[in-house]
Structure 1
């Protein structure tokens, strides 16, 4: 099991299944809760569960590290938790998952704009092809109908941009913070303003144990523990062990999972979904990490230098 957890492709697959299912869970939770309640509960619940690790981790951090952890948490663990449920009041779970595939594009863009990170040409091409796959899915789905809510869909795009900033900040500014401590720290920090938001919604004062509420609580509990806390832990670990670009390619797989759940929930599926999905997978392949082979010339000269040192020592011995 430890070997599997160290395998970046296995972690990518688990994240895709987990986060790809989060859109349908948000949809089911919206039956009884407001978008602001869902977002606040996810952050507060994760913060309370991880506070035992988060508080000691925060106390040990320097002011500079704490600043970057707070920034990363805002863009990756706070803002998107509210943007997704707000958007999904008007956008289907399938389309939400499709639009989330834009994250790698933002990672490449923000990586270059904020930190001057240059990507391989194949990664750029892969990101563009993945974007085209997502765009084709949007065009041939409900995103192309007159009834679609453009500005609500743009909230998903904004959430993707936030995830892009989050990924490059973690990789460039706090790569050495333990993934568990980092996850716990960001949720501990942002649980405080989330508590204020949750109280302001009237959730605590007006909570009623109706059948619909209790059913939605089950979906929200799973979303908070598995889809938020554990998934974010795996995501941060993946960023630190690989690159922000590779970790963000999980967003290319999310539409496939979201669409499958959408089909089970009665949402439409067309042949263009298959075409778009194929383009997305091609984008992942091109964006993959490549191990660099050692240079033959470098090895040759190192070998030559070693032989020269050995011969020199033998000459001194016989002299």
Structure 2
């Protein structure tokens, strides 16, 4: 997200009003009536999952207890949270205080697919700030190791209208089905071209947004400044630690997709300096490996939120990365 670490890392904002529970519809006394569909969870259970996550996350953040956090969190968001805990010493006192402060999810709206949809997850739109004008964020809870855990958390640019069926259940979209220029499961791989080439191919598939422009700037400036005199930096797309994509249909015919993404950043000394110089890792990279060396490769794990519309380019509205390793 525009460097808004949501969910497990800081307070976030999410808006809405509760969707219908799985008790809606149907006349059980009529033999010919179709049985009312059941959700992957009911709304009461979903609320309890969010409450448990909130409680454990606040406790874990206070002491950077990764083991405790792992009982309620998984996926890309957990990779980023573990990195946050490691990077804690590099942060300002103000940031540390904000991160460790308790947060509470307000104005929750639950988006629960039916059991027969094939989904194992549900989504929540909520806020952790009191401003009702704040669009909040989208949280995904999936079944991992027999328990529902948060697997993604991203801020919302606006409040998209997620489609509900006649019983109030959310309708998952097929991640492999193309909507406009891309399918949801193509987003991460295609997006990384902004870092690798400045978007030579990606610009054909993605609309220009603040995130695409910032990613392009990373490529453009990769060898600028003093460091560019001594070394050459390149970016390469890599497989995310957790590849699962989540997609929900919107009322306007589009799809809201939560996607994982990842890349490496490699800096290598230029030939003229290979035998008498070393690259000193930056402050964050040094947390993972402080040794000066002739080449440094940093790994980044990311998650993004995009809106896909028929006959339009994909629009990435939130994107965030964390450095998760250095060698």
Shared fold by TM > 0.5?
A: no
The structure with more strand, counted as a fraction of residues:
2
The structure with more helix, counted as a fraction of residues:
1
Larger Rg: 1
TM-score, reference length from structure 1: 0.23
